[in-house]
Amino acid sequence: MSAAKLAGGCLCGAVRYEIDGAGESASHCHCGMCRKASGAAFVTWLGVAQDKFRYTLGAPASYRSSDIARRAFCAACGSPLQFDYHGTHDHTHITVGSLDEPERVTPERHIWVQSRIPWADYGDGLPEFSGED
C-alpha cells in the first residue's frame, strides 16, 4: 500500500475498500444512531471525497437509517463500514475502526455531543459540537 492510500474492510474479509489519500477530516460521533449501528459508545468517522473511495472486493449491504442518510455494512459479519447522506453530497464517511491502519487517522472533533453517554467524556481537549457542524 502506498503512503498516499488507506485501505480497510470488514472483520471477515468479504468486503475491502481503498481510499486515495488520507481522507479529509475525522470526527467522533456521539449520536444515538451511530451508537445503535455500532454497538459502541461512539463511532469515529473519516470524511472522504466520493471520487477518492472505492470498494475493491465484494460489496456492502446498506439500509436507509434516516430520512437523510444510508449506512453500509458487511452482510456476512455485520461490520459497519460507511455512512452517506442522500442527495448530491460529494463526500462519504468511513468507519476509522475498519481501516487496516486506523492509527494513521487523527480525530479532530466530537460531534453530536448533546447525545454523549456521560462516561464517554474522555477529556481529550478536542473541539465539541452539538450537531454535525
* C-alpha to C-alpha distance for 76 and 61, rounded to whole angstroms: 9
Which residues touch 100 (CB under 8 Å, ≥6 apart)?
1, 6, 7, 8, 9
- CATH topology classification for 5-120: 2.170.150
Tell me the pTM: 0.89
pLDDT in tens, 40-59: 999 999 999 999 999 999 99
Which residues touch 115 (CB under 8 Å, ≥6 apart)?
30, 31, 32, 35
Q: With cut-offs at 50, 70 and 90, classify the pLDDT of residue 90.
A: confident
Domain ranges of the chain: 5-120
Region 1-14: mean pLDDT is 86
